[in-house]
A and B are shown apart, each in its own frame.
Chain A
Amino acid sequence: MCTVCGCAEGETRIEGDARHEHEHVGADGAVYRHVHGHGHGLGGGHSHGHGHVHEHGHEHDHDHDHDHDHDHDHEHDHGHSHPDAGGHGHDLHYGLGPAHAHAPGLSQERMVRIEQDILGKNDGIAAANRRWLAERAIFALNLVSSPGSGKTTLLVKTIEALSGQIPVSVVEGDQQTSHDADRIRATGAPAIQVNTGKGCHLDAHMVGQALVRLAPEPGSLLMIENVGNLVCPAAFDLGEAHKVVILSVTEGEDKPLKYPDMFHAADLMLLSKVDLLPYLTFDVDRCIDYARRVKPGLPVILVSTVSGDGMTEWLDWLAAGLAACPSPAQD
């Protein structure tokens, strides 16, 4: 799939990957797209085969598909028979359209019921990531924030604090550069950089690929640092246990109301850089109130990597989450 927001092909890079392999559009404009249509709506019963479908328009003189949906009662009666009415029974279509034209060469309009979530494909891959992580008892967090909230610094300090106790590995998402992964690797923790190119968020496919390369050890903590963006990453499940939103006190206390989707998607809010509060007019209580308007009951931890405030609470939260993961499957 084109995993790149902005629709550009070939922009996503995962470290260690010369190129990414995806569908392509031929020079002649023909689409050679491998369709894995296994998306499905929540509770919906659609499943589509995994067949790689190369689109090739072979023409039939007769359109076989005119199955009627029997629970509507329009009355046009077309009493002509079809010499080769091959009963193509496809699960998807219900011929709701006006079925007047059966002459060879003429088309027949019909309605195809789909009822699929637009993000169904991402969600399917995220579910596979989640299974993969669960089998290994890896506690995975998706860290989301605007750029500059201090995600990477917090990660570095967290890794240092957990050193010798809990193994940590990191997936770093940025549009460009491997600066953040370099910073993480400097702590000794394994890290892999995913550059999204023009993309504004990580998606489940990128993370799945990164997991294979990173191979985090069973029973470890996996931190996925998303692209700095308070909007798009909210909608994309990566297979994580929780989204953790980080808001720095230099950003303004009304961010939860301005970017409600992200704060609604999060299971924990870290209010960062609280050592700067004496120099700011940031109203902590109001900020937390706004966040809980969007997400009732959202837990909040005030942290500072400079003063060390809140770090114990944050580390305890991590340890509790990890302890709640089932033991790794033995095989």
Chain B
Amino acid sequence: MHEMSLAEGVLQIVEAAVAETRCQRVKEVRLEIGALSGVEVEALRFCMDVVLRNSPAEGAAVVFETLPGQGWCMQCADTVAIGALYEACPRCGSYQVQPTGGMEMRVKDLLVD
């Protein structure tokens, strides 16, 4: 979804960091994307490539770290692993699972010169 907007958001964060650190060039951008965030990693990778052109991060490697989906199962009263928002608790089969982790969309760090 809207990966181009997200890529633009990454670019703004990168540009602010470049201005702040007065570095010359960004060589690597590391992103943390939660499994439940709705972000299509391959689409975002493509958009990053386009958006970073003519920026201090042109040609930078974009590295994705996927964070696992987690939810709170109300039946089990415990944290369980889920792969999608609509998945049942893998333990008891209940759908009363509130996502608690894996919604992240973050720029983690940059490798700069």
The reply to whether the CB of B97 lies closer than 8 angstroms to some CB of chain A is: yes
Residue in A closest to B47 when the chains form the complex, CB atoms: A7
Complex CA gap A307/B20 in Å reads 60
The reply to whether the CB of A57 lies closer than 8 angstroms to some CB of chain B is: yes
List chain B residues, Cβ under 8 A from A116: 13, 106-107
Find out whether the CB atom of A260 lies under 8 angstroms from the CB atom of B84.
Answer: yes
Complex CA gap A2/B10 in Å reads 12
Q: Which of B72-98 contact A (CB under 8 A)?
A: 74, 84-86, 88, 95-98
List chain B residues, Cβ under 8 A from A311: none
List chain B residues, Cβ under 8 A from A232: 1-2, 5
Find out whether the CB atom of B1 lies under 8 angstroms from the CB atom of A53.
Answer: no
Complex CA gap A33/B10 in Å reads 14
Q: Smallest CB–CB gap between A240 and chain B, Å?
A: 18
Specify which of B24, B50, B51, B97 lies most central, judged by the most chain A CB atoms within 10 Å of its CB: B24
Q: Smallest CB–CB gap between B102 and chain A, Å?
A: 12
The reply to whether the CB of B113 lies closer than 8 angstroms to some CB of chain A is: yes
Find out whether the CB atom of B107 lies under 8 angstroms from the CB atom of A115.
Answer: yes
Contact with A along B53-86 (1 / 0, CB 8 A): 0111000000000000000001000000000111
Residue in B closest to A203 when the chains form the complex, CB atoms: B5
Find out whether the CB atom of B85 lies under 8 angstroms from the CB atom of A6.
Answer: no
Given contacts A2-B8, A37-B16, A260-B85, contact A115 B55 (CB under 8 A): no
Given contacts A231-B2, A235-B1, contact A296 B17 (CB under 8 A): no
Contact with B along A259-279 (1 / 0, CB 8 A): 011001000000000000000
Total A-B residue pairs with C-beta atoms closer than 8 Å?
Answer: 155
Complex CA gap A93/B110 in Å reads 9
List chain B residues, Cβ under 8 A from A234: 1, 38
Q: Which of B1-16 contact A (CB under 8 A)?
A: 1-2, 4-10, 12-13, 15-16
Given contacts A112-B112, A114-B110, contact A294 B86 (CB under 8 A): yes
Given contacts A65-B23, A90-B20, A97-B111, contact A5 B105 (CB under 8 A): no
Find out whether the CB atom of A41 lies under 8 angstroms from the CB atom of B106.
Answer: yes
Complex CA gap A41/B10 in Å reads 13
Find out whether the CB atom of B20 lies under 8 angstroms from the CB atom of A109.
Answer: no
Q: Smallest CB–CB gap between B8 and chain A, Å?
A: 5
Find out whether the CB atom of A114 lies under 8 angstroms from the CB atom of B109.
Answer: yes
Can you report 13 A-B residue pairs in the complex whose CB atoms are below 8 A from each other? A7-B4, A48-B16, A48-B20, A109-B111, A109-B113, A112-B21, A114-B17, A114-B107, A118-B106, A201-B5, A231-B38, A232-B5, A292-B95
- Chain B interfacial positions (CB closer than 8 Å to A): 1-2, 4-10, 12-13, 15-25, 27, 31, 38, 47, 50-51, 54-56, 74, 84-86, 88, 95-99, 104-113
